[in-house]
Amino acid sequence: MGANCQSCGMPLNKDPQKGGSEADGTLSTTYCSLCYENGAFLHPDFTVLEMQEHCVTQLKAKGMPGIMAWLFTRGIPKLDRWSQPA
């Protein structure tokens, strides 16, 4: 099993960029390019519930059935970004 983004759960091997970018321009092995760029989150103020809703919307827009999109996002609260104290 490959590494997944620790913000949204997307497999990093499915990310067109193969990961987000750190502030120094290096590839992030923790977060995808849809969540993380130049060492910062693209949606820094999202709550975990907002991230789940955002991901469901994006997956449905790509043609995934709603129930499948919902199932794919259930693990988001357990990812590193969301399980760490604020």
Average pLDDT, the chain: 94
How does residue 86 score in pLDDT terms, banded at 50, 70 and 90? Answer: low
Can you tell me the distance from the alpha carbon of 64 to that of 60, in angstroms, rounded to the nearest whole number?
Answer: 5
Which one, of 62, 36, 63, lies nearest residue 51 by Cα?
A: 36
Whether residue 31 is predicted with pLDDT greater than 90 in this model: the reply is yes
Residue with tokens 């449905």: 60
Tokens coding 30: 């923790």
pLDDT of residue 84: 75
| Domains of the chain by residue range | 12-83
Per-residue pLDDT of 36-67, as tens digits, reads 999 999 999 999 999 999 999 999 999 999 99
Which one, of 24, 11, 30, lies nearest residue 81 by Cα?
A: 30
Question: Distances in Å between the alpha carbon of 63 and those of 17, 60, 67?
Answer: 21, 5, 12
Residue 46, Cα to own-chain centre: how many angstroms? 12
